[in-house]
Copies of this chain bind each other. A is one copy, B any other.
């Protein structure tokens, strides 16, 4: 039995005070007598009054919505990362009485995002990935609207939050080199993603630090789909490598599938490690040595940074979060 929704006017009339006063009692802004405030607050509780977010929004030129931009590319949309991230943002935003609107974009089509901004439906944006050539980022910069990237950007004027992929990859690679891997292969996806560039950088640093040289004929980048990976794995078996390092969980899943098909045993025949861990690897025949990041934490930090920015507070230009190196069965000697 939904009765007519209460407005601030109703309350003012009922209590014989002005709506200005009611508004102040609710928002806590401006001077107001303790008694009056209590009276209003009590009435509100009793009658279950909830202010209209939209009216409040119009008056304050705010929406109390933030946008989470995630890739709509079909192959990527299934990655568990974004879902966990979404969960983290949603919970954090909720606490600040903000809601999150999602927007799907591809590398070449950001029209959904543009529409959202032009319609002024959000106060700020979280970019769920960063690309070398990032249309979304460019667009947002040109609009001068608050946004933060989940992932690094080369543009120092962009507020960014990222896991320290470079250090993490360096560390894991070093561990592998010290385990006396002689013929290690690196297999990765789209190098247009900044995160992959950082992973490669970390890999290189490890070799440098270890004093070994990378065999560039064992580095396969920009693999797009399972087919690509299958072919590469065939070659790697041929070349008799002792370890395959995968740049992310999707690639690693493909590698594992292919190795299984070829009846290659892990870790006996070939060892495997991944620069990113997720549920995609959960089901693998051997538990995979990998890097572990805290997606929920990262989401929370992104969200809070954005909300601060919306409130015109000072925010750090770049926040780097930690990681864990997890050594497991798949790289055992």
CB within 8 A of A119: which of B78, B86, B97? B97
Contact of A283 among B55, B116, B280 (CB under 8 A): B280
Interfacial chain B residues near A116, Cβ < 8 Å? 99
Q: A54-B54, A54-B58, A102-B102 known; A78 and B84 CB under 8 Å?
A: yes
Please state if B104 and A253 are interface contacts (CB–CB under 8 Å). Answer: no
Within 8 A of B (CB), among A226-257: 253, 256-257
Contact of A52 among B100, B120, B285 (CB under 8 A): B120
A138 at interface, CB cutoff 8 A: no
**Given that A53-B121, A118-B50 are known contacts, is A104 also in contact with B90, CB under 8 Å in the complex?**
yes
- CA gap between A116 and B64 in the complex, in Å: 11
Q: Judge whether A179 is part of the interface by a CB distance below 8 angstroms.
A: no
Query: Of the candidates B54, B142, B260, which one forms a contact with A121 in the assembled complex, judged by CB atoms under 8 Å apart?
Result: B54
Closest to A112 in B: B94
User: Are B121 and A104 in contact, with the CB atoms below 8 A?
Assistant: no
Smallest CB separation, A6 vs chain B (Å):
11
Return the chain B residue nearest A56 by Cβ: B119
Cβ of A65 < 8 Å from any Cβ of B? yes
Q: Given A2-B144, A94-B112, check contact A120 B53 (CB 8 Å).
A: yes
Cα-based distance from A229 to B142 in the complex (angstroms): 52
Complex contact B50–A119 (CB within 8 A): yes
On whether the beta carbons of A54 and B63 are closer than 8 Å, the reply is yes
A72 within 8 A of partner (CB): yes
Shortest CB-to-CB span from A72 to chain B, Å, is 6
With contact pairs A72-B87, A80-B78, A283-B283 given, residues A115 and B100 touching in the complex (Cβ less than 8 Å): no
Distance between Cα atoms of A93 and B271 in the complex (Å): 46
B58 touches A55 (CB 8 A): yes
Contacts of A101 on B, CB cut-off 8 Å? 65, 99-102
Q: What are the residues of chain B within 8 A of A115 when measuring CB–CB?
A: 94, 97
Find residues 46-73 in chain A having any chain B CB closer than 8 Å to their own CB: 50-55, 57-58, 63-65, 72
Q: Is the CB of A77 within 8 A of B87?
A: yes
Bound-complex Cα distance A80 to B115 (A): 27
Bound: A100/B102 CA distance, A? 6
Distance, CA A5 to CA B143, complexed state (A): 11
Query: Are A112 and B97 neighbours in the complex by a CB distance under 8 Å?
Result: no
30 contacts between A and B (CB under 8 A): A50-B118, A53-B119, A53-B120, A53-B121, A54-B54, A54-B58, A54-B63, A54-B121, A55-B58, A65-B101, A65-B121, A72-B87, A77-B87, A78-B84, A86-B102, A90-B102, A90-B112, A91-B112, A94-B112, A97-B119, A99-B103, A99-B116, A99-B121, A253-B282, A253-B283, A256-B283, A257-B282, A260-B285, A279-B280, A285-B285
Besides A53-B121, A99-B116, A99-B119, 16 new A-B residue pairs in contact (Cβ under 8 A), listed by A number:
A5-B120, A52-B120, A54-B120, A58-B58, A64-B119, A65-B65, A77-B83, A78-B279, A82-B83, A86-B102, A100-B102, A101-B101, A253-B282, A256-B283, A257-B282, A285-B285
